[in-house]
Chain A
């Protein structure tokens, strides 16, 4: 039903209600439609008056819906009135109403009231990240940066992930402000992006650039650029960090892969202890490898060719002077069939080492182990994203390490003309050397693929 254009009298509401199919839901449906059509609040008021006079009371959900309408239209004084009424009418309020109050008030000149409401929410539950977003944005809009950062740290302490809008507000409103403390805080945000491997979107990137260039006496200059495959920035000729893990991170990751991915809750789920032991001795005797190939994955690259031809081609491509290859497969590959011809298998076994796992074992886990055991220079070949293995890792820090290592060490082969996508030489995170910052950013607001890293960078350098 269409909400009316202007306020109605009691009888007119009554008439409308009677014509509605389910009168008990009439007010609720009407309010929902008013919110959708953004009706003038006078209409909503007249309905509320009608309800109040006929029932002597207004139900909680109607008040909340009216509040939503007021927030939508920035009616600050109405919001205050509704707050007074609800506060005296009910012992406490629930999160939905608080969300609306905080959002409504933080956009107005009464934004300090939103802060007191945030305190009230804290007594009952953990505020949502949008609650914090409203308050932080309001505080920084009024140049109260200390307060804004206090709230920001409080939010991080509660394990809430700040929205990119929060970060953007902090950069936008700090523009041109002085203060070493403030600069440190904002650098802190950039480091937060680095630690959590978050990439800013284009608007946020632009605001970061503007903030840097506005630092009084800072002499920062920003340029948008693409980093070459070699990892050198074309603007400042600075070499980006390489994607190698540190010694400690590396051994940490290896242990976690063995513990969480291969053994997990039960070693028998992915392999068996005997088989894993056999594999370990096999690898130890032939170390180190340079490239480890997931045989079955590679064998499906070109659907028109047989599986062993595909694998043969891949092995030939990768086999060069003094490169040690390891191909992982399953036992069924050894049985002579149309897909796996024995002569070709024999020939390949001269060029590379092969390990055949049981048919019901998971060969990916072996792939990870063999690559990690061989050392930092070793790469692996598979088209698999290895997401299920990443998910086995129990904490997010190790998962980030895994992603970083994967980016640096995975070679992907494409079917059409059999090219290899090389592993990245440099690490794609926010990074700094003190007088330079390099920040990768997403071109579009919504990046569709989480596995794809941005190719565009913001280069910031300080002119001495």
Chain B
């Protein structure tokens, strides 16, 4: 009934109605008399002479006349507004007013929304949902376009109708998977361990944990595809923790078949302490080379708020050696924090393991974060800079050189 009414309303509001009225279709076309109040006004519009004087308040009459029916409707529809549906109503109005609010919102999301502690938190959460919805819509649209294109291509292919012959059966993905699994299984026996420290759940919000798990899933997949994978360990992993639940959400039944070691033990219980190196951006020590005999630990933590020194504190507590990537040494850093995502770390470590080439490894640092590589040795860089300065400022050469050397060494020692 409801939908029929709205449909009718739409028809009435579009220009079909005057046409219908003129042709005397009113009786059988509109079994409900609710919309009749609108028609005289529209009719008047139709007959209105353009040279007539403008009636500025006409819109009010239109709005008010269109209302009678709706008021009646709403009164009968809901006597009581519960807080939940009330909130839903407000959200709808916000959307109409042009704010970033999602079109559809589930019961759970609504509850999370109402539990947000402040107005700005609510606004942020709504925007997050809105953008998510937008992305989903776009993906769906793209998928449909793709399907259409594929159908078209198929039609064309069927027209030409030519079977191709190939010596292999088309089983690429399955075969690849088998080959990858073989390699990872090998690494579980002979490979170099890489530890993910899963003890940061209490330091993160739910969204940060979700992001962490997403990044670990990415890291695991790129490890599986590499030529010489690590043997991944999840240490300090508690069953039925938030991490665990998120992992199951991602992997489903594959979670039990993953070729990694998951344990609730600490890495210090499994490996000798002197072989462990904790990788953290806050470390005062800078990694020089990749050591194939060491076991590197990566903290599974996404830190959206500012919590410096959490993983360094952990390493300090356990008395472990720490190291940071030599980002300053190889890259002219531009903006952004020096902590990288877990999958970027994985890419970098895998490349280092295979080649030992810092330049190739640090290609995986996001481009927006640095201006370029420090390609030449420092003294050559100094020369070019000198030249620029002489051309630009006409300064005396040795003075500039001294200044630069001082600054540069200071910069290095500070970090």
Contact = CB atoms under 8 A, between A and B. Distances in A.
Interface of A: 7, 9-11, 28, 42, 45-46, 48-49, 51-53, 55-61, 64, 81, 85, 88-97, 124-126, 265-266, 268-270, 272, 359-360
Given A7-B54, A46-B56, A92-B86, 8 more contacts: A49-B55, A52-B62, A53-B58, A60-B93, A88-B70, A95-B90, A97-B97, A360-B312
Contact of A51 (B59, B67, B316, B317): B59
A56 B12 contact: yes
Nearest to A128: B119
A94 B94 contact: yes
A58 to B, nearest CB: 6
Contacts of A96: 94, 97, 99
Contacts of B97: 60-61, 64, 94, 96-97
Contacts of B284: 359-360
Nearest to B285: A360
A45 to B, nearest CB: 4
B57 interface: yes
B329 interface: no
A53 B331 CA distance: 64
A93 B92 CA distance: 10
B66 A45 contact: no
Contacts of A360: 284, 312, 316
Contacts of B93: 60, 90, 92-94, 97
B63 A91 contact: no
Given A56-B38, A92-B90, A269 B54 contact: no
User: What secondary structure prevails in chain B residues at the interface with A?
Assistant: helix
B159 to A, nearest CB: 40
B96 to A, nearest CB: 4
B309 A269 contact: yes
Contact of A58 (B57, B59, B312, B316): B59
B64 A53 contact: no
Given A60-B97, A266-B313, A94 B64 contact: no
Q: Of residues A56, A58, A59, which shows the largest number of chain B Cβ atoms within 10 Å of its Cβ?
A: A56
Contact of A61 (B90, B98, B308, B316): B98
B90 A94 contact: yes
A53 to B, nearest CB: 5
B38 A91 contact: no
Nearest to A361: B316
Nearest to B38: A56
14 contacts: A49-B56, A55-B13, A58-B63, A61-B96, A61-B97, A85-B60, A89-B70, A92-B90, A96-B99, A266-B317, A269-B312, A359-B284, A360-B284, A360-B316
A92 to B, nearest CB: 6
Contacts of B59: 45, 48-49, 51-53, 58
Contact of B63 (A28, A85, A97, A126): A85
A9 B50 contact: yes
Contacts of B13: 55-57
A60 B96 contact: yes
Among B62, B90, B98, which residue has the most Cβ atoms of chain A within 10 A?
Answer: B62
Contacts of B71: 88
Nearest to A53: B45
A299 to B, nearest CB: 14
A46 B55 CA distance: 8
Interface in B80-116: 81, 86, 89-90, 93-94, 96-99
Contacts of A58: 59, 62-63
B58 A49 contact: yes
Contacts of A42: 56
Contacts of A268: 312-314, 316-317
A266 B57 CA distance: 68
Contacts of A48: 59
Contacts of A53: 42, 45, 58-59, 62
**Which one of B55, B66, B312 has the highest number of Cβ atoms from chain A below 10 Å of its Cβ?**
B66
A52 B55 CA distance: 12
B76 interface: no
A97 to B, nearest CB: 7
Contact of B310 (A57, A97, A269): A269
Interface string B296-317: 0000000000001110111011
B158 interface: no
Q: Select the residue from A91, A92, A270 with max chain B CB neighbours within 10 A.
A: A91
A13 B63 CA distance: 19
Task: Give the top 9 A-B pairs by smallest Cβ distance, nearest first.
Answer: A56-B13, A268-B313, A60-B96, A52-B59, A52-B62, A94-B93, A45-B56, A48-B59, A269-B313
Contacts of B67: 85, 88-89
A288 to B, nearest CB: 31
Contacts of A94: 90, 93-94, 97
Contacts of A81: 60
Contacts of A46: 54, 56
B63 A9 contact: no
Contacts of B66: 56-57, 89
A61 B96 CA distance: 6
B67 to A, nearest CB: 5
A93 B50 CA distance: 36
Contacts of A89: 63, 66-67, 70
A44 to B, nearest CB: 9
Nearest to A88: B67
B74 interface: yes
B90 A124 contact: yes
Contact of B86 (A56, A124, A126): A124
Nearest to A44: B56
Nearest to B319: A272
Interface in B4-38: 12-14, 38
A7 B59 CA distance: 14
Contacts of A61: 96-98
A46 B56 CA distance: 5
B64 A88 contact: yes
Contacts of A9: 50, 54
